[in-house]
């Protein structure tokens, strides 16, 4: 028996025409750029199928962001499916909780090779080179609130050849996601499919390798909770012998046109304002480099204790007109790989009065006195090694070069490590009431 393969693109949660909530005070051009990003991302997913000559294309729900979808989104969606159809690539579309069948849409024709699943599990044949090689089963939400376990309805659907299931659902009661069409991984496995093309959870993830069960995540991140690369899977399914599910190779391909990123910067141990400015600049350039040419929306959270707290707390310093945020964003929009600071959150605290704390008769005071006694004894590196030995840490270090590294530490190095350790410990001890 000759091995059969099929290829397809699996995407979900396009949320076309999402309004961008996060950033305030965006320029009109930036606002327009963001508004277009969900469209661009879907176009990129369609390009992926066209460029690689996929056998078909799957959208697992939440094409639109709202039940009453915008005309712009509807027209665009049909246009893109039309590009696929024109190239002979069939598309299979399921509706999710954000775009149930009950939502309003213009009464228009889908392009010829598009199939949209109905409100009951429905099956369509999969063809390759004019030969039926399997079937695809799917379900569209009739209304937004589907609380029934729909996965169970796929039982007994399996036919000859490849079997693919398309469903928008919450597997395993994932927190932070509405519990629509709740089901378990075992429910999905029990249906004897080769591939479960899921939608709903906006972070990509493979739940099971065989049968392959996966969320591709949303195609475009739309707020700070949707960070990092967003895209679609390009899947190759290989038929397997002996009744096993087909073997899937799913390559995650980024499709997004702008990326969200959150960074934290601790101001502890910054001696001068200059250190702060340099650190912020380094974070921005790192974000640009990691973006690989794609623009980035960056949220920066400032943390830690130190003198810089006074600087960033100056009225208007961070967010006033002509403040740091404005200044850093100026001119960014003119470059294709812009890094736009959408928010700076100040969680810094003033430097600690270590002498004052050390004189207190409480846990923190005792801790600091202990540290001071250790310091006074001198020979810090030997002291450190003795403590590590006592705790059994030294014996557990497998790499001799780590031991060499410890041996090569100067007294100054160990002093600095001690400072950091004390700060970290104090932050923990003083958590809550210490600021």
Span 131-150, contacts to Mn ion by CB under 5 A: none
Q: How many CB atoms lie within 10 A of CB 129?
A: 6
DSSP bridge pairs for 162? 134
Total of residues contacting Mn ion (CB under 5 A): 2
- In the complex with Mn ion, which residue's Cβ is closer, 13 or 342? 13
**Residue number with CB closer to Mn ion (13 or 122):** 13
421 closest CA partner among 375, 376, 355: 375
Q: Give the residues across from 259 on adjacent strands.
A: 296
Stretch that binds Mn ion, among 2-10, 13-21, 111-119, 326-334 (CB under 5 A): 13-21
Minimum CB separation of residue 45 from Mn ion in Å reads 15
Give CA torsion, residues 107, 110, 112, 118, to 10 deg.
Answer: -100
Touching Mn ion, residues 52-71 (CB under 5 A): 62
The minimum distance between CB 418 and Mn ion, in angstroms, equals 49
Residue 68 to residue 432: CA distance in whole angstroms: 45
C-alpha closest to that of 38 among 198, 199, 257: 257
| Distance separating alpha carbons of residues 67 and 70, to the nearest angstrom | 9
Q: From CA 325, how far away is CA 329, in angstroms rounded?
A: 6
Picking from 255, 262, 259, the residue whose alpha carbon sits closest to that of residue 221 is: 259
| Omega before 160 within 30 of 0, i.e. cis | no
Nearer to Mn ion, 147 or 410 (CB): 147
Q: How far apart are CB 13 and Mn ion at their closest, in Å?
A: 4
* 99 scored as a contact of Mn ion (CB under 5 A): no
Q: How far is the CB of 199 from Mn ion (least distance, A)?
A: 7
Q: Cβ 306 to Mn ion, closest distance in Å?
A: 41
- Residue closer to Mn ion (CB basis): 15 or 261: 15
Of 98 and 299, the one with the shorter C-beta distance to Mn ion is 98
| DSSP symbol at 42 | H
Characterise 292 by phi-psi region: left (phi > 0), alpha (psi -120 to 50), beta (else): left
Q: Least separation, in Å, of the C-beta of 61 and Mn ion?
A: 7
Tell me how far, at minimum, the Cβ of 81 lies from Mn ion, in Å.
19
8, 9, 13, 151: which one binds Mn ion (CB under 5 A) = 13
Chain positions contacting Mn ion, by CB under 5 A = 13, 62
């Amino acid at each position: 028996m000759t091995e059969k393969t099929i290829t397809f693109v699996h995407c979900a949660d396009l949320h076309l025409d999402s309004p961008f909530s996060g950033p305030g005070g965006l320029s009109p051009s930036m606002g327009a750029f963001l508004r277009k990003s969900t469209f661009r991302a879907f176009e990129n997913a369609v390009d992926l199928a066209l460029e690689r000559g996929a056998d078909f294309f799957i959208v697992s729900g939440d094409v639109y962001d709202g039940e009453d979808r915008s005309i712009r989104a509807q027209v665009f969606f049909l246009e893109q499916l039309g590009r696929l159809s024109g190239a002979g690539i069939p598309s299979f579309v399921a509706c999710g909780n954000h775009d149930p069948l009950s939502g309003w849409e213009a009464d228009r024709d889908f392009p010829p090779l598009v199939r949209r699943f109905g409100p009951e599990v429905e099956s369509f044949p999969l063809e390759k080179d004019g030969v039926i090689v399997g079937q695809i089963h799917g379900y569209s939400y009739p209304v937004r609130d589907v609380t029934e376990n729909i996965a169970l309805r796929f039982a007994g659907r399996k036919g000859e050849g490849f079997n693919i299931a398309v469903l928008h659902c919450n597997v395993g009661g994932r927190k932070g996601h509405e519990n629509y069409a709740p089901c378990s991984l075992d429910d999905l496995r029990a249906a004897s499919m080769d591939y479960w093309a899921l939608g709903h959870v906006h972070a990509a993830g493979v739940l099971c390798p065989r049968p392959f069960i996966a969320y591709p995540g949303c195609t475009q991140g739309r707020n700070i909770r949707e960070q990092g690369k967003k895209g679609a899977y390009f899947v190759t399914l290989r038929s397997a012998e002996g009744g096993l599910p087909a073997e899937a190779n799913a390559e995650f391909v980024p499709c997004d046109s702008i990326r969200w990123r959150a960074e934290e910067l601790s101001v502890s141990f910054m001696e001068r304002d200059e250190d702060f400015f340099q650190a912020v600049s380094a974070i921005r350039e790192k974000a640009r480099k990691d973006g690989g040419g794609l623009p980035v929306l960056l949220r920066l959270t400032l943390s830690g204790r130190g003198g810089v707290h006074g600087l960033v707390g100056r009225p208007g310093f961070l967010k006033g007109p002509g403040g740091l945020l404005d200044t850093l964003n100026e001119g960014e929009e003119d470059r294709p790989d812009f890094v736009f600071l959408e928010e700076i959150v100040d969680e810094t605290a003033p430097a600690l009065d270590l002498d004052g704390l050390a004189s207190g008769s409480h846990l923190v005071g005792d801790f600091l006195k202990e540290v001071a006694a250790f310091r006074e004894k001198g020979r810090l590196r030997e002291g450190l090694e003795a403590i590590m030995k006592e705790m059994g840490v030294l014996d557990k270090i497998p790499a001799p070069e780590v031991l060499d590294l410890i041996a090569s530490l100067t007294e100054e190095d160990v002093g600095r490590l001690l400072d950091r350790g004390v700060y970290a410990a104090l932050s923990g001890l003083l958590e809550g009431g210490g600021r």
